[in-house]
Amino acid sequence: MNLRKQNIGAYLFILIVLFSCSDKEAGLKYDSMGEIMVRIAELEIEPEFLEEYLNILKEESEASVRLEPGVICIYPMYQRENPTEIRLLEIYANKEAYESHLQTPHFKHYKTTTLPMVKTLRLVDMKAIDPESMPMLFAKMSP
């Protein structure tokens, strides 16, 4: 019974990871090849606004991945020990996709409404290590 429950949970989680962090159409709208943008955003939120902030963030990240082909992944997390410490793994098809993201109504809404809630913000540009070794893992995904 536990095993069945666990399987359902595991499948659900995997669906979520797949659907939140992937997009076959990524970049189709963008003319220049560009380079994938990977970033970790580090935010500290004013404790009294945390719940409100999380609600607005959820809406914004969901809308971005759903509406923007160039937003490949926004994976928001908070630190268990310090829930006001937010981390977002953000992956954009290229710089243009990111620039376009900044102009969307949902991002602008997020930015203006959360401005007084954000104590600190640090945007850290990252580079993925060794993405090319991964296709061999395909077999794991097959039914």
**Least distance from C-beta 98 to a second copy, angstroms?**
14
48-57 burial: b if 16+ Cβ within 10 Å, else e: ebeeebbebb
- CB closer to a second copy, 102 vs 141: 141
Q: Which of 73, 90, 101, 117 binds a second copy (CB under 8 A)?
A: 73
Judging by beta carbons within 10 Å of its beta carbon (0-12, 13-18, 19+), is residue 71 exposed, middle or buried?
buried
Q: Is 76 in the site for a second copy (CB under 8 A)?
A: yes
Residue 110 C-beta: closest distance to a second copy, Å: 13
Distance (Å) of CA 35 to CA 13, 27, 70, 103, 127: 29, 10, 12, 20, 10
Cα 133 from chain centroid (whole Å): 22
Q: What gap in Å lies between CA 19 and CA 115, rounded to an integer?
A: 29
Of positions 41, 50, 54, 118, contacts a second copy by CB under 8 A? 54
- Name which of 30 and 110 has its Cβ closer to a second copy: 30
120 binds a second copy (CB under 8 A): no
Whose Cβ is closer to a second copy: residue 119's or residue 128's? 128
Q: Coil, strand or helix: which one is 26?
A: coil
133 contributes a contact to a second copy by CB under 8 A: yes
Name the residue type at position 9.
G
| Contact call for residue 121 and a second copy (CB under 8 A) | no
Q: Does 14 bind a second copy (CB under 8 A)?
A: yes
Number of residues that bind a second copy (CB under 8 A): 74
